[in-house]
Amino acid sequence: MTKDLIGYNDIINRSKFFIIEDALSFVKKNDGFPGDHHFYITFETNFNGVEVSENLHKEFPNEMTIVLQHQFSELDVKTNYFTVTLHFANIPEKIVVPYKAIKRFYDPAVNFVIDLNIQNEEMPLSSEKHNLEELKTNEELNKPRNVDKNISNNGQVISLNRFKKDLKK
């Protein structure tokens, strides 16, 4: 397999950080969460730029999961990191988390997960026949589909030859 010279893994991971930043910005802008939304954010406590109290670092020397739901304040969302104040044993603690320190971002209200633990390594796709056979025998795929006979199919066939010619120019 050819080496990825474009850097797709980096592009994908940067995109994930933008999603997290946008979600946190939404919460800050709206002074809280809509509906049942809330976040579980797992991050590396030893990552450069992470700021947690000495007590929290002793308790969570490698990794920590925080929950942003009801009891948090002073959420500040920046380009490369966010800060938030949480209460641990009724003691307010300001935490600074660079996005690159995040290992997992989860909103259980909608079962949305961004897992940054797993690298999208260049892995060959399996071409084993049993995978295709499993798909063919899947009950959902074999169920008859209801078709609405009132819907007409006035589709149009478009020739791609014109576009192929344009590409050769």
Residue 145 lies in a domain: no
pLDDT of residue 118: 54
Q: pLDDT tens-digit profile of 114-157? A: 998 754 443 333 444 444 444 444 444 444 444 444 444 444 44
Which tokens hold the place of 54?
Answer: 């000495």
Its pTM stands at: 0.67
Quick check: is 134 in a domain? no
The answer to whether residue 163 sits within a structural domain is no
Residue 153: the pLDDT is 42
Domain ranges, residue 21: 8-115
Q: What is the pLDDT of residue 116?
A: 86
pLDDT for 117: 73
Is 132 part of a structural domain of the chain?
Answer: no
Task: Please give the biggest Cα pair distance in the chain.
Answer: 70
- Give every CB contact of residue 97 below 8 A, 6+ residues apart in sequence: 41, 43, 50, 81, 82, 83, 84
C-alpha dist (Å) from residue 118 to 87, 98, 104, 115, 130: 30, 18, 10, 7, 26
d(CA 84, CA 95): 5
Tell me, what's the pLDDT at 38?
A: 96
Residues in the chain predicted with pLDDT less than 70, given as ranges, are 118-169
Quick count: other Cβ atoms within 10 Å of Cβ 83?
14
Residue 140 falls within a domain, yes or no? no
Output the domain CATH number for residue 95: 2.30.30.220
Within a domain: 152: no
Total domains in the fold of the chain: 1
